[in-house]
Amino acid sequence: MQKKISPRNIAVYYLTSFFDSMVFIIPIIIIYLQGKVTIPQVSFLFAFRYFIQLVTELPTGALADILGKRLTIILGFFINSFYFLLLFFSQNFYHFLFAYFLGGIGDSLLSGSTDALVYDSLKQDKFEKNYAKILVRQNIYFQIGLIIGTVSGGFLYTVAPWLPFTICGFFQFINTILSFFYFEPLIDTVKFTLKNYINQINLGVRELFKNPHSSLVSWYYIAVGGITWTCAMFFNSYMLVDLGFSNQMRGVIDGSLRLINILIINLIVKNEKIFTKKNSFMFFPIMMLIAFLPGRFLYGVIGIPFVAFSMISATARFIFLNKYTNEEYDSRYRATALSALSMFIGIIYVVIITISGPIIANFGGMRTMYTLLGVLTLMTVVPLSIKLVRDYVKLS
C-alpha cells in the first residue's frame, strides 16, 4: 500500500507558512528605503523585484513540475534568507537593486511550487476535497505570523535597525531546513529534457485558457490578484505612512487589522451556504470598490477601515479563488499554470507600482493611488465578475 504523504507535507506547509509570514520589516521598510533612495526609486525597487519574479515564473514553474517541487521550494527559501540580510547591508540604489533581484528569484521558485505540492499531495492520497480547509488553516497560521511580525517590527527597529532584517533571514533559513522534510508527490512526474522543459511551459500557459470558462476564471483571478497584491505587498504599508502614523503605531495597526482579518475570513468560511461560489465572484468587486474608491478623501484614523477592506480582499483571494483555479487545471501542469497566473499578476504589479512613483510624489500621495485602484477595479474586476455570475447561473 502506498504511504500517505499529505499529513507530513501539510505539517511542513503550516510551519513554513508561519515562519515565512513573520516579516518584521513590513512596518519600517518604506521609511527605511526612503532614508536611502528617492520615492520614485522606492517604487521602482518594488516593481523591479516583481519584474524579475514574473520573467522567471514560467521557467521555475516548469522546473518544479519536472525536477520536483520540493527542490525548488528549498532553493527559494535559501535565496530569500540572503535577500533579507542584503537589504540591511545595502547602502545605495544599486545595492538594493541586487538584493531585490535575489528576492524576485526566490519568490519565483516558491510561487506555484508550494501550492502545487500541497494540492498534488492531497490528490495522491485522494484527499483533495480537503484543500480549501487546508488553505483556511494555513491562512490562520500565516496571518498570526504576520501579526507577530508587524506588531514587533517597529519596536525591534527602534531597539536596533538590523534586528528585523536579521530575524527575517533567520526564519527563511529555518524554512530551508524544514523543506527537506517534504515528500515529493508522485503524480504525473516527467523526465527532464530540454524538449520536455519547453513543452511544459507551453502546456502550462495553455492550461489557463484551455476553454472559455477556464479563461474567464483565470482572467478574473489575475485581475483580482493584480490589484490586491500591489496593496498587500506595497500600497497598504505606504497608505499607513501617508495617514500619518509612527513606525511603532503602524506595526500595531497592521497587526490589529490582520487579527480582524483572520476572524472575518474564518467567519466567512464557516458560512459555506451563504458564501457560495457565485457569492465569491460577487464578493471581490464589492469589497474592492469599498476599499479603494474613497481613498483620496481618507485621513488619519478614518483611513484604517479601508486598509482593512483591502487586506480582507487580498487574503480572501488566496482562500477562495485558489480553490477554484486549482479545480480548473490538470495536475501535470498545475505548478506551471499557477506560476503563469503569478506571472500575469506580476505584470500588473510591475506596471501599477512603476507608474505609482510619480503619482505618489506629485499628485496627492498614496490616497490618490487608492482611488485609481478603485477605478481600475470598476473597469476590470466588475465586468469579469458579472460574466462569471451569469455563467454560473446558466451552468446551475
For residue 188, pLDDT beyond 60: no
Angle between helices 304-316 and 212-230 (to 10 degrees): 140
CA distances (Å), origin 110, targets 10, 75, 117, 235, 281: 16, 8, 11, 22, 27
Which is more confident, 194 or 347? 347
CA distances (Å), origin 122, targets 36, 111, 116, 347: 46, 18, 10, 31
Other CB atoms within a 10 A radius of the CB of residue 278 amount to 15
Supply φ then ψ for residue 293, to 5 degrees.
-55, -40
For residue 190, pLDDT beyond 70: no
In this prediction, residue 58 has a pLDDT band, given cuts at 50, 70 and 90, of: low
For residue 29, pLDDT beyond 60: yes
For residue 173, pLDDT beyond 80: yes
In this prediction, residue 293 has a pLDDT band, given cuts at 50, 70 and 90, of: very high
For residue 196, pLDDT beyond 60: yes
Q: Which pLDDT value is given to residue 1?
A: 45
Q: Which pLDDT value is given to residue 94?
A: 93
Q: Which pLDDT value is given to residue 209?
A: 82
For residue 373, pLDDT beyond 80: yes
Q: Average pLDDT, stretch 15-39?
A: 89
Tell whether the torsion through CA atoms of 301, 307, 309 and 312 is positive or negative: negative
Q: What is the DSSP letter of 185?
A: P
| Out of 163-167, 190-194, 228-232, 331-335, least confident range | 190-194
In this prediction, residue 135 has a pLDDT band, given cuts at 50, 70 and 90, of: confident
- Three cell numbers, residue 389: 455570475
- Three cell numbers, residue 313: 480582499
Which is more confident, 214 or 1? 214
Q: Average pLDDT, stretch 247-274?
A: 78
Q: What is the DSSP letter of 26?
A: T
In this prediction, residue 13 has a pLDDT band, given cuts at 50, 70 and 90, of: very high
Which is more confident, 335 or 373? 373
Nearest to 295 by CA among 306, 286, 309: 306
Helix, strand, coil percent values for the chain (each to nearest 5): 85, 0, 15
Contacts of residue 35, Cβ cutoff 8 Å, sequence gap at least 6:
none
Integer Rg of the chain from CA: 20
Model-wide pTM > 0.85 = no
| pLDDT digits 0-9 by tens, 75-129 | 999 999 999 999 999 989 999 999 999 999 998 888 768 877 888 888 887 887 7
Burial class of residue 195 in the structure, from the number of CB atoms within 10 Å of its CB (0-12 exposed, 13-18 middle, 19+ buried): exposed
Please name each of the domains of the chain with its CATH number: 7-183+193-395 (1.20.1250.20)
Grid look-up 516548469 returns 62
| pLDDT digits 0-9 by tens, 150-167 | 888 888 988 999 999 999
Q: Average pLDDT, stretch 140-151?
A: 84
Q: Which pLDDT value is given to residue 256?
A: 85
Specify the DSSP element, H or E, that contains 259: helix 247-270
| Out of 4-13, 156-165, 340-349, least confident range | 340-349
CA distance 141 to 266: 12
Q: Which pLDDT value is given to residue 224?
A: 93
Q: Average pLDDT, stretch 44-58?
A: 82
Average pLDDT taken over every residue of the chain = 84
| pLDDT digits 0-9 by tens, 253-266 | 888 888 887 787 77
- Three cell numbers, residue 177: 531546513
For residue 382, pLDDT beyond 90: yes
For residue 19, pLDDT beyond 70: yes
